Amino acid sequence: MNTISRFDGFGLGLRRTHYADFLDGDVPVDFVEVISENFMVDGGNPLRVLTQVREKLPVILHGVSMSIGSAHGLDCEYLRRLRALAERIEPLWVSDHLCWTRTSAHNSHDLLPMPYTEEALRLVCDNIDHAQEALGRAMLFENPSSYLTFPEDEMREWEFVAEMAKRSGCYLLLDVNNIYVSAHNHGFDASECLRALPHDRVRQIHLAGHTDGEIKIDTHDQPVCGGVWDLYREAVALAGPVATMIERDDGIPPLPELLDELDVARSIAAGTRSKVAA
């Protein structure tokens, strides 16, 4: 399977609200990320827009329904359509989530949690092997946010993720907000989780906001909070130069506000790398 080179850049999710900004001018980002399923079609305006944006910027395809944890295996038609999109767009890479979304008869459209067991690990790695072979490329998988644990769990989340990357050869999309949310919800140390992951397999970092409460919810509708920025400093120091992006899927502000937030990430990354180099 091919390797995925590091890409040291800062980007945003391409959302319909900002299509005109990206089509009509030069937006100061290094890449955009799109939700794969929104473009896995034969035509239509979204695909036209993506094709035009791709002429200006590198693109990352980020999926939400591969269901890599499905006990029923992967949907071959889904993989065929995803490969067709990847061959058309020639993305930096293709990513999805460590979760399951469907049974043989029902798609929940939710990113449902995995039990962290050896049996589940073998299943996930088999499915990753299938996906990477079908797509003809290595993939990235994102650590989830979670709101419950299973009594059957045999390992911690970071142990499961590290072993998944080792066995399957996949790379990691490190969602710093998800670590922050899950650490609060389950009472573990976010820094301990971050330090235990295989940093050499990280190729991208997600930053996002969440909804606070007794249980934190990964809603992507708020600015990045101070605690997540602090964790991002640690992530940059550990993972080195990798792609960073801001995710906003609801409560989407005008583009200049997101660009200001992305500039914060640039500043933190530059400062952290300078300290590491010194």
Place of tokens 């996949």: 170
d(CA 205, CA 192): 17
Contact 248, 221 (CB under 8 A): yes
- Domain assignment present for 50: yes
Q: What is the mean pLDDT of the chain?
A: 94
- Domain assignment present for 1: no
163 CB-contact burial (10 Å; exposed 0-12 / middle 13-18 / buried 19+) = middle
Task: Tell which residue, 52, 57, 67, has the closest CA to residue 97.
Answer: 67
Q: Is the pLDDT of residue 104 over 70?
A: no
Residue 100's pLDDT is 80
φ and ψ at 242, to 5 degrees? Answer: -135, 165
Per-residue pLDDT of 106-130, as tens digits, reads: 554 568 789 999 999 999 999 999 9
Domain containing 217 equals 10-277
d(CA 242, CA 144): 19
Q: Is residue 239 very low, low, confident or very high in pLDDT (cuts 50, 70, 90)?
A: very high
d(CA 228, CA 238): 15
Q: Is the pLDDT of residue 225 over 80?
A: yes
Contact 94, 39 (CB under 8 A): no
- Domain assignment present for 79: yes
Cα–Cα distances (Å) from 265 to 137, 142, 151, 235, 242, in that order, read: 29, 19, 37, 12, 12
- Domain assignment present for 5: no
* High-pLDDT (> 70) share of the chain, %: 96
Return the CATH number at 154: 3.20.20.150
d(CA 132, CA 120): 18
- Domain assignment present for 4: no
- Domain assignment present for 2: no
Q: Is the pLDDT of residue 105 over 90?
A: no
Residue 107's pLDDT is 58
Residue 97's pLDDT is 97
Q: Is the pLDDT of residue 103 over 60?
A: no
Instruction: Report residue 213 as tokens.
Output: 């409460």
- Domain assignment present for 3: no
Residue 1's pLDDT is 65
Q: Is residue 155 very low, low, confident or very high in pLDDT (cuts 50, 70, 90)?
A: very high
- Domain assignment present for 205: yes
Per-residue pLDDT of 157-212, as tens digits, reads: 999 999 999 999 999 999 999 999 999 999 999 999 999 999 999 999 999 999 99
Per-residue pLDDT of 23-64, as tens digits, reads: 999 999 999 999 999 999 888 999 999 999 999 999 999 999
243 CB-contact burial (10 Å; exposed 0-12 / middle 13-18 / buried 19+) = buried
Split into its structural domains, the chain has a count of 1
Residue 160's pLDDT is 98
Q: Is the pLDDT of residue 223 over 90?
A: yes
